[in-house]
Structure 1
């Protein structure tokens, strides 16, 4: 395939590598449980601060990206990830002062909300309709390769460690990688110059007006489709807290947590690829593909929570009586590691389906930037609550809450899938205002 810098595929790959180096490295550290610290309290509070600001800037992120462009928003946002990782170096030397880590988490929420709105817009609006599942998979594989690489780094640097917290050197390595990711954001092309595989422009609407963007955001909260997806959005990161802290963080020693991360984020790559084969299949229409993917997610997640319940009953106190599990202890560790792999697989299936549903609602990149921001904002609202619940709520109650929330997200998700059309508006429309866009859309429909 001939390399074309301004092609949609190239831009999705580039933003994949930005997320590989920034959110991917963050995931590797966060997946250790407690940010790689023995005491997870500071990490939990930092994540609550992170997702609290993420709620606001996730929702506003689409408007900010539309107004400021993708290059500088991603560039500035990427450095917030580096600052957050650097805060754990301070925490290593001031164990009882988590204030810097918490403040860094709040700043990261601002940056992450904007970065993920830009990423979501690029990933679901740049491809053609029949390519959206494939492009989501390509992004998800590259992005989660960051978590796999981070897991390898964590395993290698802690292989002989007797501690249960990460060293300064490990955090420094992550800071360097995240700074590189931020600078890579400047390589992205402006959407106005990007073309799809059929030669059409990805920019369906050309306008940037603050009042229009504000009105567009407010309309999200009365949009029946967005309200139908709200439980899905809320639930989609809620389970991270339980999986990272109460499975990986509580049961395993430090090197095995890194080992598990390789499989967790590797499973994400597998899951994203497999579900893309279904979501872009030509054998079924779009609605049928959505229904089949829904059934797969239903079965996998119920298996995950059933397995989590069985594991909890085996270790009700969270910590095995004869010490934390090590990956070399094959008699005890096989089942929990397989469960953690399944958690990663399920996450990729759920997130890929969620993005595919959002991408199926429209091809308008400015609408999709708002939709992606809404998704990440409401997702972060759930995550902020989940990280605080981990401090105050018993593990079994957290598990039950996760299972119930997943069940509650299913009926409205199914409703939105049922409402999906086989084709969204697909013509290239270049106008100056949203009103003109609506008029043009009506003309084309007639």
Structure 2
């Protein structure tokens, strides 16, 4: 006879109130102590940390791992790019490389949701991490060879890799968390990811602390970036795929059971044709990276010396951490309905766009034109209007970037909980985002006037919020029914539903 004091055996019998013939649905299984049962194996073996329990194939652990991957790969890339010209005094090589990067990113990114669903997030992220260290290596090579061809190739290759990495990351960040916690999960990711840029910014700051002139960063700076980026690509191999992930309530991520290339291309088509309202978000997608050209190359890259650029870069990414935390937790404020939070977030973003970029206009109209001769670069010792004011403006630009990115990810996550559908949306997002970035990096490469780049950036940001308003005000609901998310999947409610939903269906609540 079984020992009644043991808690290991799993109770899987159908509830007494259910018909005798009703099968016990998967994931209604509980231990005798009431804890939700998880599949056998090390990935689902729990470890207690205080009152919390963690297991490897849980949303929190997987989000932490993908955050570290992004900390080491795109986080370091952001630190390098934030120096202006990828650390080069002449921005031409970086402009050409970034134009190639975002051009291939735009094409691959748009379709990379198909790759993520077909290959799984682990393979997608592992392949995606490869391009970052090659990109940094191309600028180390450029220091000695002035080989534009290698930097352009590295940029194009990174565009392919980044399209895969960011789509896998977006699918994890938007589909793994429960609905009520998506803002916090997004802010946690953005915090860890931007710590990569913060720490990466310390490398050039430490190595160029005494460089008071405008100069290219040292070889050691590039070597440090290469090593860290390579570690990130290797770490991506340790993620698990979405079909292994189980949430705290016992629910699973919605996927295709047996995805094929045909089914995934059809899903991409269905997302656009059956839900055409998503195109109203495309201008926001387009606008979400275009400001880097103006902020990094025009403001930081052109007006300050090497050590001051490194300091501004550090402060910019620190501000991103605070912006992500403030907006992430505000978007999960449970005393207000999700529909109210969504509309409020859109209004707040519009106000920030007008206030921060309005301050940017007051700054930009005083700056010399691109073709001005003998333009003075400033040092942090200059103080006052020459450094302190622009420094705070640059900090607010960083805060704004995090607010924009956190909010738009939360908007997409509020539209679906399906891993398959969010992968497609993430692909659209990164593809269209990269098209916008490619165009603006090319504008800088063509030496378009700084005032024109500023005006185009501000106008597109404000206009995209107006165009997105109908989706935010009409399509975002307080919750997304399971049946709606399952439209694009061959899974059933029993495959993925939380325990409470399944128990209710079978008469146990």
Q: TM-score, normalised by structure 1?
A: 0.94
2:246 is matched with 195
Change (3 A) 1:322 1:385: closer
Given that 2:284 and 2:464 are in contact with CA atoms closer than 8 Å, whether structure 1 keeps it comes out as yes
Q: Give how far 1:412 is off.
A: 2.3
1:123-272 pair list within 5 angstroms: 123-161=173-211, 162=213, 164-222=215-273, 223-272=275-324
Give the SS at the match of 2:129: helix
Match in the other structure for 1:303: 355
Structure 2 vs 1, CA of residues 307 and 344 (structure 1 numbering), >3 Å: closer, same or farther? same
Aligned counterpart for 2:380 among listed residues 304, 308, 327: 327
Q: What is the CA-CA distance between 1:72 and the residue it aligns to? A: 2.1
**1:399-433 Cα distance to aligned partner (Å, 9 max, x none):** 111111112201222111112111113479999x8
Say yes or no: does 1:423 pair with 2:475: no
Per-residue CA deviation, residues 204-252 of structure 1 (Å, 9 max, x unaligned), is: 5423111111122233444323201010001111111111100110111
**Aligned-residue offset at 1:308:** 1.9
| CA–CA separation in structure 2 for the residues paired with 1:249 and 1:436 | 51
The partner residue of 1:16 within 67, 89, 109 is: 67
Deviation of residue 379 (structure 1)? 0.3
- Larger RCO (alpha carbons 8 Å, 6+ apart): 1
Residue in structure 2 matching 1:104, options 154, 157, 180: 154
- Please list every run of 5 or more consecutive structure 2 residues that lacks an aligned counterpart in the other structure: 1-51, 497-501
Question: When the two structures are superposed, what TM-score results if normalisation uses the length of structure 2?
Answer: 0.83
Aligned ranges 1:14-163 → 2 under 5 Å:
14-95=65-146, 97-161=147-211, 162=213
SS at match of 1:284: coil
Indicate the residue corresponding to 2:454 in structure 1: 399
Q: Tell me, in whole angstroms, the C-alpha distance in 2 between the residues paired with 1:219 and 1:251.
A: 48
Match of 1:410 in 2: 465
Cα distance in 2 between the residues matched to 1:429 and 1:293: 24
Q: Which has more radius of gyration?
A: 2
Q: Which runs of 5+ in 1 are unaligned?
A: none
Contact 1:205 1:437 (8 Å CA) reproduced: no
Greater helix proportion: 1
The structural deviation recorded for 1:6 is 1.4
Matches of 1:425 and 1:143, distance apart in 2: 31
In 1, the alpha carbon distance for the partners of 2:305 and 2:77 equals: 20
Is 1:315 aligned to residue 367 of structure 2?
yes
What whole-Å deviation, never above 9, does each CA across 1:136-166 have from its counterpart, x for those lacking one? 0000000000110011111001111345111
- Cα displacement (A) at 1:437: 5.8
Q: SS at the partner of 1:112?
A: helix
Q: What secondary structure does 1:2 align onto?
A: strand
Cα RMSD (Å) of the superposition? Answer: 2.3
Matched with 1:389 is: 443
Contact 2:369 2:449 (8 Å CA) reproduced: no
CA contact under 8 A between 2:58 and 2:246: conserved in structure 1? yes
SS in 1 for 2:55: coil
Q: Is the 8 A contact 1:206 1:430 kept in 2?
A: no
8 Å Cα contact 2:246-2:253 kept in structure 1: yes
How many residue pairs are counted as aligned between the two chains? 441
CA distance in 1, matches of 2:60, 2:79: 26
